[in-house]
A = this chain, B = another copy of it.
């Protein structure tokens, strides 16, 4: 059995990580090698055409576009994708307040071919943040709940540091240590981490909950440049029809 990094073919899964540089957002493509059914996690409006070209070249059928949460820093590609791909459905947490075809909650499955992602609710950055975990628990798409050596901010939308801390510790740090952590963003050119690494080296989440709350209270970050257009747009699938 040959093993691949970007295509876990012996597991029957095609996998690609893609990057949108303006918002530093990662989009993830997962597909079943046999049925060719594909799911796209956190697509970005500006890179919809790039993503669709790749999906077409790989011979995949995009069935579902899912978001990890209602983003404040970029406009989701979900709405535009729905206009361009017949039958495509959008999905997001039912706690997000956003509209989508499929409203997800804890334990729900996002299916592509004979594979699926399981939804783990990981609120704290927003109320509707979820982490998508592959069926073999080898990969977790953590959105802004857990970033590489960091985490999403908790000072806007429904942010709550205590809640984020509990989500990460109960829902992500309980995954296998070698489970790969794929975040929604990275600002330092890092692409992946593992649960073990973050449990050891995350400068915020290795602290006590009190220290964490204190750290998050004192970040003094500027307001996200796009929040006033991105959030209202993302509540309706990126301004486009749901």
Hey, which bits of chain A sit against chain B, CB under 8 A?
A: 1-11, 15-21, 47, 50, 54, 57-58, 136, 138-139, 178, 180, 188-192, 194, 197, 200-201
Contact = CB atoms under 8 A, between A and B. Distances in A.
Contact of A194 (B7, B191, B194): B7
A143 B50 CA distance: 22
Contact of A5 (B1, B15, B54): B15
Nearest to A56: B201
A173 B81 CA distance: 33
Given A20-B189, A57-B200, A200-B57, A8 B7 contact: no
19 contacts: A2-B138, A3-B138, A4-B180, A5-B6, A5-B8, A5-B15, A6-B191, A6-B192, A7-B194, A9-B178, A17-B191, A18-B191, A19-B190, A20-B189, A21-B189, A57-B197, A57-B200, A57-B201, A191-B191
> Copy number in this complex?
2
Chain B CB count within 10 A is highest, among A3, A47, A139, A192, for A3
Contacts of A180: 4-7
A181 B216 CA distance: 40
